Amino acid sequence: MIQAKTQKQIPEIKLRWLVLSQLATWIGASFIWPLTSVYLNKQLHISLSLIGVVLFFNCMGNIIGSIIAGRLYDRYNPYPLVVSGLAIDGAVLFLMAVFHGWPEYWVWLTILGFIGGWNGTLINSIATSLKRHPGRYVFNILYFAQNLGVVTGTLIVGYLYDYSITLLFVIAGMLFAFAFVNAVINYRPIIAFHKQRMSQNPHGAKTKYEPMPKNNFIMSMCFLATLGITWLMYMNWESNLSVYMVSLGIPFHMYSLLWTLNATIIVIMQMILAKFPRLFKNLFHQLVFGILMFSISFVTLVFAKDFFHFALSMTVLTLGEATAFPAIPAYINDLSPLSSKGKYQGSIMVASGLGRALGPLFGGMIIDRAGYIPFFWVAAIVIFLMIVLVIPVYLKLRKVLTLYN
C-alpha cells in the first residue's frame, strides 16, 4: 500500500466529546423509531401500508441529508453545520411534544430523517479529522456509543410511552439540546482543522474535490455495495422476522428480547475491540469476518424453530454487525483524500439507507412468493457472494491502494 503524506498536527476535538454527543443523540433517537409504528397505528389509527410510506419518507430524508452534509463538510466550516443540525433536531422534537397528531407527525418524521442523516454524516466526517487514535479505534468507539444509546433508549421508551408520549418527546429534545451545548463548547477545534485544510488549496471552498485514486474508488465501491446488500437482508430481522416467530408460536415479547440481546452483544464486542485493537490483523480481515457472520446467521435461521435457536442466530448476526459495520467507515476513511472525506462518509450513509429503505419490500416479495426458508437461503447466498467479490478485488489492489491518514 502507498502511504499518502500526512498533514501538520493541530489541536483537535477530543474523542470523548464526539462519543458524548453520539450517546446522547442515539438515546434520543431510540425513543422515536421503536414507537412510531405502534403510535401511528394504535393511537392515530393509521393503516400499516401508510405507515410504510411514512417510514420510507424517513429513510429517503436520511439519504438526502447524508449526501448534502457530506459534500458541505468537504467545502465549508463543519462547526456551524453540526451545531445547527443538532439544534434543529432538538427543536423538532420539542415541537413534536406539542404537535404529534396526523399528518404533522409524518412531516416531523421526514425532517428527523433528513437531520439524522445530516448529523450522522457530519459526526462520522469529523471523526476522520482525529489523528490521536487509529481510525479503527475511533469508529469502533463511536459504534459502541451508538449501540449503548440504543440499549438505553429502547429499555426506557416502553415505560415512558405508557406514562406520557409528550414527556418522551420532551426528554428526547433535551438530550439533543445537551448534544448541541456539548458541540458549541467542545467542537471548536474543527474550525482550525477546516482552515488548515482550505489553506492547502488557494481556491478554498471553490475548488473541486480531490479525486479518489482509481484503485481506491473500486475498492470503496465494493465495500459500499457489500454494506448496501447486507442492510438489504438485515432489515428483514426488524420487519418480517417478527411475523415468522409469532407464526411459530413464540410470543412477541420474546422477539423484542432478541434486540436487547443484539444491543448487549454489540456493546460487549465494541469493548473487546477497543481493549484489543489488534484482535484482527487488519480492517479488511475484520470486515470479511463480519460479513461472513451475517451470511451464516441466515443459514442458521433455516433451522430455527424455537426461541433458543433464534437467539443463537441473533448472536451470530450481531457478531457480524459489531465487526463489519464499524470497519467499513474506518476503511473508507483511510481510502478517502482529505478534501473528499465528507463525501465518502456520506456515501456510507446512503448505501446503508438504501438497504434499510428497500429491505422489507425485497424480503416481503420473496416471502410472499416462496416463503421464509427460501428467503433465508437467498439472503445467505447473496451476502456470501459479496465476500466472493470483495476478496479477489482486495488481493489484486491491496499493494496499489493509497492510504490517507
Q: Which residues span the domain enclosing 346?
A: 212-400
* pLDDT in the model for residue 288: 94
Q: Are residues 264 and 333 in the same domain?
A: yes
Inside any domain, residue 7: no
- CA separation for the pair 342, 67 (Å, rounded): 9
Inside any domain, residue 93: yes
Q: Are residues 168 and 273 in the same domain?
A: no
Stretches where the chain sits below pLDDT 70 are 1-9, 33-34, 37-38, 48-49, 158, 200-209, 239, 252, 405
* pLDDT in the model for residue 4: 57
- CA separation for the pair 197, 306 (Å, rounded): 55
Categorise residue 306: left if φ over 0, alpha if ψ from -120 to 50, beta otherwise. beta
Q: Are 117 and 66 in contact (CB under 8 A)?
A: yes
User: Using alpha carbons only, what angle is made at residue 54 by residues 343 and 144, rounded to the nearest 5 degrees?
Assistant: 50
Q: Are 260 and 148 in contact (CB under 8 A)?
A: no
Residue 371: half-sphere exposure toward Cβ, Cα within 13 Å: 5
From 166, 200, 234, give the residue that closes a domain.
200
From 156, 175, 200, give the residue that closes a domain.
200
The rounded Cα 270 to chain-centroid distance in angstroms is 15
* CA distance from start to end of the chain: 13
One DSSP character per residue, 144-165 reads HHHHHHHHHHHHHHHHHHHH-H
Inside any domain, residue 308: yes
Q: Are residues 238 and 280 in the same domain?
A: yes
* pLDDT in the model for residue 209: 61
Inside any domain, residue 365: yes
* pLDDT in the model for residue 7: 52
Inside any domain, residue 6: no
From 163, 178, 200, give the residue that closes a domain.
200
Cβ-in-10-Å burial (0-12, 13-18, 19+) of 204 comes to: middle
Looking at the structure of the chain, the number of domains it has is 2
Q: Are residues 187 and 157 in the same domain?
A: yes
**Is the four-CA dihedral 134, 137, 143, 145 of positive or negative sign?**
negative
Q: Are residues 68 and 174 in the same domain?
A: yes
Inside any domain, residue 330: yes
Inside any domain, residue 184: yes
* Amino acid in position 107: V
Q: Are residues 31 and 149 in the same domain?
A: yes
* pLDDT in the model for residue 63: 87
- CA separation for the pair 61, 59 (Å, rounded): 5
Q: Are residues 174 and 62 in the same domain?
A: yes
- CA separation for the pair 405, 24 (Å, rounded): 28
Q: Are residues 279 and 370 in the same domain?
A: yes
Q: Spell out a b/e string for 216-229, using b for 16 or more CB atoms within 10 Å of the CB, else e.
A: beebbebbbebbbb
Q: Are residues 268 and 166 in the same domain?
A: no
- CA separation for the pair 213, 222 (Å, rounded): 14
* pLDDT in the model for residue 373: 93
Other CB atoms within a 10 A radius of the CB of residue 138 amount to: 24
Q: Are residues 268 and 342 in the same domain?
A: yes
Q: Are residues 101 and 246 in the same domain?
A: no
Q: Are residues 43 and 86 in the same domain?
A: yes
Domain at 146, CATH number: 1.20.1250.20
Inside any domain, residue 80: yes
